[in-house]
Every structure is written in structure tokens, then in C-alpha cells.
Amino acid sequence: MRPGLRALRTELTSRAGRVVGLLSVAVALTTGLMRMPPPTGPSWSATFNEALIGLVGLAPVCAGAVAWLVQDYQRRGIAALAASSPRGAVGGALPRVVGALLWALVGYLVLLVISALRTTHRGLPGWPPLLLVLLATAFLAAGAALGWAVGAVATVRAAPPLLAVALFVGGYAGSYGEDWFGRLAPVDRMSVYRSFLQPHVRLVLAQVVLLAAVAALALCVPLAGGLARRWTGLSAAVVLTGAVLVLSKTDPDPTEIRAAPREPACAGGPIVVCLRPENADLLAPSSMALSAAAAALAPYLPVPVRFSEPGIDRRVDHGPGVYVPPPVAGDPLAFEAAALSAIVPPPCPRRIADASATMAYGDVLIWADATVNGPAGMPAYERQRFARILTENVSGQREWVRRHLTAACS
């Protein structure tokens, strides 16, 4: 075995290494099993995002462990020994740091396996969801680099646990963050990856660059001397560039619509419904709900004849014919609601926050539901308000719908 690999194996199997490994796997198992899988339908992005969220607990463990191991390396005089060797003090610490990082990656693998076992997605993931794996690796590497920096300068024994707590608090708060703060945090609990969504590629790449720059900046601390100063300047420039990229050039939405699949799963008939291949089992109930709703509403408003998931025909998630498959298969009410939203979408590209406009669109949806399913399902307090319009003739109801949709976009 090569001497470097032997040194790494020694670190991995040492008592300190085994403690770090045990802790990493325990934290990964706990956080992975504690989280409920999100009801998003089949989505690799949701799976990888779940594993990424688990790093809020794992990355601080990795950073704290590295800081502790580097402190021990210095305290025992091994750093001074290595500093006089051709590998230098930084090279001599590599087996410890890499060992801790590898254990953290094993913990991440556990998180990935737990999330993957829970997903209903079949088939291989595309490359955009895999960017979340790259982001997770960069997050762990940045945590290890921060730990190395803290371990190299702080002699206080409380420094490693304090670093871990600080990272946990920062990561936890960042995962709920919005706007600028949220975009800077690599972990995002707020996004729901429905099956037609994927991570925002440019945002994730910018976050990876940012984390790489943070890692480089942190590594300047153990790398003493003129070279380190140059690294600091270069890293600061990269951090700034990355931050500018993230904050100014990127869409604030951390998700984007996936590209069209090569062969969508489609169902023909009076109307055509096309879904992504992994949603093929939702075709029959979708087609049924859409056909029934389209037939009932056709006399009153223009009804599309082709429905498809966002990204298959158009890269938008709104508009007539854009059909979002319900996350929970087998729930007929969810299929009906999705069908109504595809047939009667909000008439404006984005729903206006104005209360009267929102109410006008809500009225149209209640009317559409009553028209498709009958007034029996309506809430009692709404029945009286809609009784008059539902008994009007077709042209009267058509005019009512037109007026309300116009008001909904005012």
C-alpha cells in the first residue's frame, strides 16, 4: 500500500477517526430518519435536496472534528515535525483532514441512501439534480476548511465545539432564509421540488463557486507566508465575484422548470395529456379528470385540447393547458383541482396581490368546480351566493365568467 494511503487508513481507523466516523453516521441517520419525505411526487431534485438539508447537522460535525484533529496535531508537536519535512505542516495534516472529510462524506452517503429509498422516482437522475450533490460536497469541503483554519489558530479547547454550534445556527437560519440571505445559504428548506422542477443551475453553480472561495480563504490560514497572502487576495476576489453573480445575475427563485423529456408519456382521446415518463402512472386519472372537467366547462369558456406538464410544451408553470400533476397519486380531489387550474388558469402571468382580483379568480374556480361536480360539494355559505349564476343560461354564465376573469387581471 502506498505510504500516503497507509497514513490515511491509519487516520480513518484510529480511535479519533472512528469517533468522527461514528458521530457522522449517527448524525446522518438521525437527521435522515427524522425528516418526513416531502409530498412532491417523484423527483430526484427533492431527493437530493432532502439529503442536502441533512447537512445542516453533518457539516458542523465535520468542521468541529477537523478543528479538533488539527488542534491535536499542533498540540502534540506533529505539526512542528511535519513543518521541517518536504510535505510541510499543511501536507502533514492532510491525512487527518481528509480522513474526517471522508467520514463526513460517508455520512452524506447515508443521507442520500435514506432519501433515495424513500423516493418513488424510477430511472436515473439527470445532471441538474446531481448539482445538489456537488453543492453538498462543496459545503462539506468548506466546513472542513473552516475547521482547519480554526484548529490552526485557536488553541482554546472550546473552539471546535463553538465552531460546530456557530455553523449549525448559521446553516439552520440560512436554510429558512429568503432573498439575499437565502440565496447565499447552500441549504434550502423552503423550496418544494415538484416533479417538473429542478435546482436553478446558475444559482447552484454560483453557490459552489462561493463555497470553493470560502474554502480557499480558510485554507490561507494554515498556509502561512507570502503565498498565503496572495491566495487571500485571489480568494477574496473570487468570493466577491461569486457573491455578485449570486445576488445580481440570478433569478431569485431557487428552482427552475426542467427541460422537456425526450419521450414524454402521452394519452390521446378527445384531449391529449402529456406527462414526464416518471409520472406515466398518473396519466389515466389525469386524463379522466381533465376530460370530465373540459367537457363540463367547454360551453362557457375556451377549453384547451392539449394538456402537458410544465416544460414539455412550454417552459412556464401557468397558462391554459399547463397541467401540474398532483403530488399525491390516488386522490381524486387533487386531480380535479389540478384539472381546473389547467383549464381555467389565472388570466395574468402572475397572480396579482390585489384582494379583489384574487377574489374574482377564486369565484371563477368555485363556479368551475360547481359546474363540473355539481353544487352539492360547495360550502353552505357559498351556495346562496352562487345559486343565481349557476341557474342562468349558458350565455349569461359565459358573460359572468368573462367579467370575472377580466376583473382578476385588473
* 365 touches another protein (CB under 8 A): no
State the Cα angle at 301 between 299 and 302, rounded to 5°: 105
CB of 20 to another protein, least distance (A): 14
CB of 188 to another protein, least distance (A): 40
* 133 touches another protein (CB under 8 A): no
Query: How many whole angstroms separate alpha carbon 46 and alpha carbon 43?
Result: 5
Long-range (24+ apart) CB contacts under 8 A made by 118-125 are: 118/37, 118/47, 118/50, 119/37, 119/42, 119/43, 119/44, 119/46, 119/47, 120/41, 120/42, 121/42, 121/43, 121/44, 121/47, 121/278, 122/42, 122/278, 123/277, 123/278, 125/44, 125/47, 125/48
Of 10-18, 119-127, 212-220, 357-365: span binding another protein (CB under 8 A):
10-18
Inter-residue contact 8 to 98 (CB < 8 Å)? yes
* 302 touches another protein (CB under 8 A): no
Specify the 3-state DSSP secondary structure of 222.
Answer: coil
Residue from the set 19, 22, 30, 91 that interacts with another protein by CB under 8 A? 91
* 230 touches another protein (CB under 8 A): no
Specify the 3-state DSSP secondary structure of 309.
Answer: coil
Q: How far are the Cα atoms of 95, 175, 340 from residue 257, in angstroms, in the given order?
A: 42, 21, 21
Inter-residue contact 160 to 73 (CB < 8 Å)? no
Of 7-15, 213-221, 374-382, 395-403: span binding another protein (CB under 8 A):
7-15
Query: How many whole angstroms separate alpha carbon 161 and alpha carbon 33?
Result: 24
Q: Which is nearer to another protein, 77 or 379 (CB)?
A: 77
* 4 touches another protein (CB under 8 A): yes
CA 314 to chain centre: 22
Residue from the set 21, 95, 310, 311 that interacts with another protein by CB under 8 A? 95
Residue from the set 26, 78, 292, 334 that interacts with another protein by CB under 8 A? 78
* 356 touches another protein (CB under 8 A): no
* 151 touches another protein (CB under 8 A): no
Query: How many whole angstroms separate alpha carbon 359 and alpha carbon 382?
Result: 13
* 154 touches another protein (CB under 8 A): no
Count of residues touching another protein (by CB under 8 A) = 27
CB of 15 to another protein, least distance (A): 5
* 6 touches another protein (CB under 8 A): yes
Strands 306-308 and 197-199: unpaired
CB of 13 to another protein, least distance (A): 10
Phi then psi dihedrals of residue 344, to 5 deg: -120, 75
Query: How many whole angstroms separate alpha carbon 195 and alpha carbon 173?
Result: 26
CB of 97 to another protein, least distance (A): 14
Q: Which of 222, 279, 269, 249 is nearest to 89 (CA)?
A: 222
Q: Which is nearer to another protein, 86 or 302 (CB)?
A: 86
Query: How many whole angstroms separate alpha carbon 372 and alpha carbon 342?
Result: 14
20-59 mask for another protein (x: CB under 8 A)? ----------------------------------------
Residue from the set 34, 84, 158, 179 that interacts with another protein by CB under 8 A? 84
* 75 touches another protein (CB under 8 A): yes
Residue from the set 36, 86, 124, 384 that interacts with another protein by CB under 8 A? 86
* 232 touches another protein (CB under 8 A): no
**Contacts with another protein, residue ranges (CB under 8 A):** 2-4, 6-7, 10, 14-16, 72, 75-78, 80-87, 89, 91-92, 95, 225
